[in-house]
Structures are given as structure tokens and as C-alpha cells.
Amino acid sequence: MFRIHFGRLSKRFAAGFLCLTMMVFLLAGCSRQEQEADEGPVTITIWHDKEEEVAAVLQDALNQLAPDIIVKLERKDGLTDSLKMVGNDPNAAPDMYFFAHDKIGVYAEMGILAPITEFLEQDVLDGCIPMTLEAASYKGEVYQLPLYFETLLFMYNRRYMKDEEVPSTTEELYTYMQENTRGGHYGFVEQHSTAYYAAGWLHAFDGYILKEDGEPGLGDEAVLRALEYHKKFVELMPVEGEYATVNTLFREGKAHSTIGGPWLVAAVREAGIDLGIASMPVVEETGKPISPYSGVQGVHVLRVAAEKKHDAVKKVLEALADDSVGTSMARASGCAPARISCYDDPQVAEDDMVMAMYETAQNAEPMPNMPEMDVMWTVAEKLLVDVNMSGKDVRSSAEDAQEQALKLIQQMR
Amino acid sequence: MKKKSKNTLWAYLCSSPSLILILLIIIFPILYTAYISFTNMNVYHWFDFEFVGLKNYRDALFVFDSGFLSALLRTVLWTVVSMILQLVIAFVLASLLNIQNFRGRRIYKTLLMIPWAMPGYVSILLWKTGMFNSQFGLLNQWLEKLGMNPIRFLAGDVSAFICCSVVNLWLALPFMIMIMDGALQAVDRSCYESAVLDGAGWFQRAVYITIPAIRQIIAPSVLITVFTTFKQFDVVYLLTCQSGARTGANIHTILTYAYENAFITNNYGYSSAISILIFVILIGFSLLTGRRKKER
């Protein structure tokens, strides 16, 4: 009898204990972080999504600000979505973030970004390549301190394409493709139906996915001409033009040349390819080279930090604006610095990949940083697939895409 | 009476953390989504959004155009085909696993569970590149060896639908096999022995003993799988319309269609209205299924 009673009691106790424990764990996540003390060193948190080498260069440069300013670089997966959620929450948002420029418009419209000019003098920014400053600006304000940029490059396998065979025009490239695309080999491959990659062809015809005024340009005659012209190249490439297929073909020596990003270089060299990098071929009809998008990576300041930690943020930005940061990143990771004076460094000037990107930057178009671009990637890609892979009529596909883009942009508001 | 109410109170108290958890992770998001659907929350009104009444619902109806209707029909077809295949194949495999004195049972059971152990995202992309790719895919390598031209499995609507169904089967079968296997083991063996004595064959035993016996056990799992399949997004999106890797097939389900025609706009009010409408469709589907079950 006693045992039964004791058993019931212990069960009740266990149930109550488990219930209490679960409640504690449940509510633990709701606790708030303690506010930073007013005195002592100021801590600046920077979210980023970069590789270790780049982050290490930044951390080294910013460690010099210690002990007054402690800078913590935190790698964050899903950085852009996290910023949307907590961008204006002083307890959860970082003070700054290090990311590409293309989300500036979204965050500026949300009101979570502070213009960089609140901290840096104009002459500091004047030292940057104009293209990078253009990328960092939205509605007349500069929201990013550009550190380095990436753009697509024309790469070739020297085993098959000799330096003197590198095409200087797209027609030469087409002839090379006709002569060399056979037996499982391709003269040239690219991600032909991905908007980021195909944009270079559109720009060479003065066409745009999204115009400066935020209007979609998919229905423009320039885009139609570019798509028509591009089609004949696509016919000599594998139909599946996605990242995995294109890069594997090039890495395995089955494609003689490609258009790819600097992120591809390490893997290609590791695969034993004798890699050559050249300028983009020029479209004879327009006299313009294939002009790909460029992505400018840099540091942005959150409005919450701008108000509370103005002086510390200013010192961090000044430290990052130093030429040594750009040159160190170029040496460590092959990044193309945003500051013009970095290219005077002999080691930077000798790096063929960095210099190729610098050269391409003269014609590259910064990715639009307007919020409207978020819908344009999908619409433009659908158009490219319709034309290149499904064989649909260029004009009617472009008109449909333009209509769809206008509808989606209208739905954004 | 007093003791009974005390026990009831105690039971509620003990289950309160779970109830709060359910409230926080299931009920609250639904209510919050419904609330957002009546506001103009978007990139331009992120923190200063206002109540806009039924505007988002009116706009959402424009998404429910012919494209949406065909996506809805395709989703129903997708669910029906997937469920029939899953049930039949899982039943056959589970029956084979339950053959008396079958020595390799454990090994086969472990092998059949492997797709479940792998992250779905990885499995889908492996199928896409490793099996269906026209350059490197195993299927095309075989075709090449046979002297045939490569096939773009994911480019045509019909072939892409079949490929998606196959991948979905690969992902979903382990769960269904496990449930079927458990249910089959619960069936009284003496029934089979009597049936064998009466001269019943495998098919008759399956129809008159096994299926009626396991129906009630597997019913909740089947219902769950119906909904999982109905609101499937990953398989169709990753195989045919992933950003940067589209294949040209147009086999949108309601979720992939809503994603491409609403969610990418960053207009959370508008997207929430569409989510709520899809939620209503699913609840309607659930009520319909529940009523039919009751009628039986």
C-alpha cells in the first residue's frame, strides 16, 4: 500500500519536475542580452559571410584598435534574412555588416542603414574605383565602404586554346566554337541561361535587365537583339548550363574556355588546368565587350550603431579604408581591391587574376542595388530559359517577361 | 468528483509546456501571418506598416489565375500519383520484409532506410546531377553506351513530372515502409494460418486479412504523407526551377507557383494573404478527407 502511494507521489514529483524543466528551457530563449556598459572598451560586432582568409585580414587590421575598440567578426549564415528580421533591434542587430552591395536598396528602404558619409570624408571615398562607388550609392547616398569587387572573367585552358588563339571578338569566339565543339569537347561553355552570367551579353548591346530608373528593360529592342545574337552561341554549348555542369566541364578539361568568377580559379588550378585569363571578347556589331555584372563587397553601418557608437564606427571605417587592407586581401585571397592606389603595389600588379578583374571593371556594370532587382533575377532567368532551352520565340517571350516583371514590381509596394 | 477535476487540472498543468510550445511555434505564426496579411508590410513599409483591410486578398486573387489553377490541378495529380505509388510499393516491400524466416531482413531494412538518413536537399541535387544530368548523369551514360542520344529528362513537362515523382518516392518510401512494416507485424499470424488452411493465396490474404487489419494503423501516417506531398516544395523547385539551374519544364505546384509569383516580391502583406489562402485550401482538403474517412 505504502509502495503504491509512494510510487504515485514519485510519479507526480517526476511529472512536475519535468514540467518545470521544460518550462525553464522554453522561456530561456526569451531572455534578453544585457545592455553594454557605458564605460570600458566599445565592442563593435560585424557580421559577414566571407571565407576565412578575407576575414582574417580584416580582423588583423581591426585588432590594432584594441584595447579601446574590440571588433568581433561573426560569420553569419543567412545574413540577409537575419538583417531583415533584427536590423533595427539594438539587442540583436550587429553594428556593421560586410556583404555585397546588391542589398543596399532593400535595407536603405527599410531604414536600417546609415550613410557612410556620416563617418568618412569625401576624399577617403574618392580613392575608390568609380564603379565601386556607383555600386555603393543608392538614391544619392553612399551606404557602403567598398573593400573589394568581383566580376566575371574570360578563362581558357592553355592545353587546348593557345594564348594567340584567344578570341578578341565574339565572332572569333564563335568560329573557335564551331571548329572545336565535337567528341565530348566544347570550345566555350558558360551559364548561358543564368541572369547573372547572361547580363554581360545584354550590356554589350546596351540592354539592361533593370534600368537605372527601376524600370525593367527586358522588352527593349537592345535586349531582343542581344538574345537573338546570343542564341547561336548557346546552340554550341551543353543545354544544361547550370553551375555544376559548366564548371565540371571546364575543370575536367572538356571545355576549352569559359566565363566564370574568381571563385572558380583555385579549384581549376587544383585540377591541374593550365589556366589563362583574358579580356572579354568584343561584340563586333556594337564595338562593346561582353560587360558582366560586378559585385562590390564592403562594410555597411547599421542605423542602431550609428547613433550609439558613432566614434568607434568612424575609427573602424578609417582603419578599413587604409590601402594595406586592400593589398593584404589581394595577396591573401586574390580579391581585386576597391581602392585605386592598391594597384601600385608590385605584388598586386603581378597577380594576373586581380589585374584581369581590374581591367574588366572598366566595362563591368555594378549589379543594380535597387529592391526591384529581387524580382528581376527570376523573371530574367525564365526569359533566358524560354529562349535558350525551350526554343520559344524571342519577342513574345521578352514581352511576356516584361509584363510579368512590371506586375511583380507593382506588387512589391 | 473533486478528485477528478483535480486530476484534470494536474494533467493540464503537466502538459502546459507542450501546449505553450505548440501555441508558440504553430498557432502564433498562423495568427501572426493572418495579421500581417491585413497590413501593407513590405520593403517600403517595413516597420511603419499600416492596416489595409482586404487589399492584399483582392491582389492575391490575381495570382489565382489560370496558371494557379493548372498548378492546383497538377498538385492534386502529383499528390494522388505519389500516394498510390508510395502505398503500393511500400506495401509490397514491407510484405517481402515480413516473409517468415527471411534472413536478410535487418540488412534490407537498414538499406531501405538510407534515403531517410540523408538530408533531402542533398538527395535531390544528387539525383539531379548524378542521375538526370545530360552530361554526367548515370542514365545518360547508360544510353550513351547503348549508342543512343542523351535525353534531357528534366526539360519536358511529362518527363520532369515523372522524375520528380521518382525522387519523391525515394525520399518518402522509408517512412511508409517503416509504418507498414510495424503494422504488418501487429497482424495476428493465426488469421493467415486459418486462411492458408482454407486455401487462400497471397493476393486473397492481402485483400481480406492484411489490408483491413493495417488500415486503421497506417491511416494517420497516410494522412500526414498526403499533406506533406500536397505542400511539397523542395523536390519540384530544386529539380526544375531552382535559381540558376532551371531546366525549362513548367510543372509548378501551388507552392512553387506562389513563390515565383508572390513571395519573391518581398511584400510580406501580400505573400501572407496568399499563404492564408493556401492554408484555407489545405484545411478544406483536410476536412474533405476527414469526412470521407468518417463516412467509411
User: Does B249 fall in a domain?
Assistant: yes
Cα distances (Å, whole numbers) of residue B29 to B32, B232, B291: 5, 20, 27
For residues A25 and A3, give the distance between their C-alpha atoms in angstroms, rounded to a whole number. 32
Percentage of chain B lying above the pLDDT 70 cut: 95
CB contact under 8 A, B46 and A109: yes
Task: Establish whether the linkage from the previous residue to A67 is cis, with ω within 30° of 0.
Answer: yes
pLDDT-derived band at A205 (thresholds 50, 70, 90) equals: very high
Q: What is the pLDDT of residue B78?
A: 92
Q: What is the pLDDT of residue A202?
A: 95
| pLDDT of A308 strictly over 50 | yes
User: Does B287 fall in a domain?
Assistant: no
Threshold 0.90, pTM exceeds = no
Q: What is the pLDDT of residue A39?
A: 63
Chain A residues whose beta carbon lies within 8 Å of the beta carbon of residue B59: 411
Which ipTM score applies to this complex?
0.79
What is the least distance, in Å, from the CA of B160 to any CA of chain A? 14
pLDDT-derived band at A32 (thresholds 50, 70, 90) equals: very low
Q: What is the pLDDT of residue A34?
A: 43
User: Does B131 fall in a domain?
Assistant: yes
State the best of A18, A24, A240, A251 to mutate against chain B, taking most chain B CBs within 10 Å. Answer: A240
* Cα–chain center distance at A105: 14
Average pLDDT over residues A163-181: 94
CB contact under 8 A, B17 and A382: no
Choose the weakest-confidence range: A22-26, A27-31, A190-194, B85-89: A27-31
- The CATH number of residue B105's host domain is 1.10.3720.10
CA neighbor of B255 nearest in space, from B42, B122, B71: B71
- List the domain boundaries for chain A: 42-150+294-366, 151-292+368-411
CB contact under 8 A, B17 and A390: no
Rounded to 5 degrees, what are φ and ψ at B285? -60, -40
Rg for chain A (alpha carbons), in Å? 26
**8 Å CB contact between B61 and B280:** no
State the best of B135, B145, B260 to mutate against chain A, taking most chain A CBs within 10 Å. Answer: B135
- Number of folded domains that form chain B: 1
Candidates 3.90.1150.10, 1.20.1050.10, 3.40.190.10, 3.20.20.120; CATH matching A151-292+368-411: 3.40.190.10
Neighbours of A179 (CB within 10 A): 9
Which of helix, strand or coil describes residue A357?
helix
Q: What is the pLDDT of residue A36?
A: 46
Q: What is the pLDDT of residue B191?
A: 85
Domains A42-150+294-366 and A151-292+368-411 share a fold: yes
**8 Å CB contact between A145 and A321:** yes
Contacts of A64 (CB under 8 A, 6+ apart): A319
Average pLDDT over residues A175-190: 93
Identify the burial level of B116 via C-beta atoms within 10 angstroms of its C-beta, where 0-12 means exposed, 13-18 middle and 19 or more buried.
middle
CA-based nearest residue in chain B for residue A11: B14
Question: pLDDT tens digits for A354-392?
Answer: 888 888 888 888 999 999 998 999 999 999 999 998 889
Chain B residues whose beta carbon lies within 8 Å of the beta carbon of residue A19: 13-14, 16-17
Fold classification of A42-150+294-366 is D-Maltodextrin-Binding Protein; domain 2 (3.40.190)
CB contact under 8 A, A378 and B42: no
Question: pLDDT tens digits for B139-169?
Answer: 999 998 898 888 888 988 999 999 999 999 9
CA-based nearest residue in chain A for residue B15: A19
Average pLDDT over residues B273-283: 85
Among B18, B46, B247, select the one facing A110 at the smallest CB separation: B46
Among A88, A191, A411, select the one facing B47 at the smallest CB separation: A88
Among A191, A390, A408, select the one facing B265 at the smallest CB separation: A408
pLDDT-derived band at A297 (thresholds 50, 70, 90) equals: very high
Among A248, A375, A386, select the one facing B265 at the smallest CB separation: A375
What is the least distance, in Å, from the CA of A108 to any CA of chain B? 9
Which domain covers residue B96, as residue numbers?
Answer: 66-268
Question: pLDDT tens digits for B37-93?
Answer: 999 888 888 888 889 888 888 887 776 666 778 888 898 899 999 999 999 999 999
| pLDDT of B203 strictly over 60 | yes
**28-87 of A, contacting B, C-beta below 8 A:** 84
Chain A residues whose beta carbon lies within 8 Å of the beta carbon of residue B152: 239-240
Cα distances (Å, whole numbers) of residue B73 to B60, B69, B78, B240, B254: 18, 6, 8, 18, 9
For residues A254 and A340, give the distance between their C-alpha atoms in angstroms, rounded to a whole number. 37
Among A238, A243, A375, select the one facing B135 at the smallest CB separation: A238
| pLDDT of B295 strictly over 80 | no
Q: What is the pLDDT of residue A286?
A: 92
